[in-house]
Amino acid sequence: MDKSLTDVLKGKVVILGIGNPLRGDDGFGPVLVQRLQGEVPAVCIDAGTSPESYLGKIVQESPDTILIVDAVHLKSKSGDYEILTPSEILASGFTTHDISPKLLMDYLHREIKAEIYMLGIEPERVTLGSEMSEPVKKALNNVVREVKEALGA
């Protein structure tokens, strides 16, 4: 990971968790946001599988930085995570969702000129009814700690 959370989480921060907790590791984003809610000085949004429904709220918050958190096929081992810029999204692979996170990032950048990043995690399993895998659970604990440190919580 070239960029650290301390490097990217600056100013007013919105953390947007995308995913479906009923699909194992795909729930990483929402679970992370739930664990951070009220623990960090950031606006934490659990967007579930409909991040487009929260675009107005994000624009209204007028953040300096947006961190989108989602399961992403990084072509690495499960539990690995990276901080990606919009230009790196296409090179990284695909998320587990229908809507392109790059489209979300482009729209938000046009509307509010925030710095936008994606924290993508490599899933092990995303089948309906599966539980979060051990590598992703371990990564979740690490990311919670890193976000809290980066935001001074």
Residues 6+ apart with CB under 8 A from 128: 22, 23
Domain ranges across the chain: 5-150
| Region for residue 48 given its phi and psi (left: phi exceeds 0; alpha: psi -120 to 50; beta: otherwise) | left
Average model confidence (pLDDT) for the chain?
89
Give the residue-averaged pLDDT of 133-141: 97
pLDDT digits (tens, 9 = 90+) for 15-39: 999 999 999 999 999 999 999 999 9
Q: Give SS3 for 139.
A: helix
Q: Indicate the fold that domain 5-150 takes in CATH.
A: Rossmann fold (3.40.50)
What is the end-to-end Cα distance of the chain in Å, rounded?
22
pLDDT-derived band at 122 (thresholds 50, 70, 90) equals very high
Share of the chain above pLDDT 90, in %: 69
The two most distant CA atoms of the chain are separated, in Å, by 38
pLDDT-derived band at 107 (thresholds 50, 70, 90) equals confident
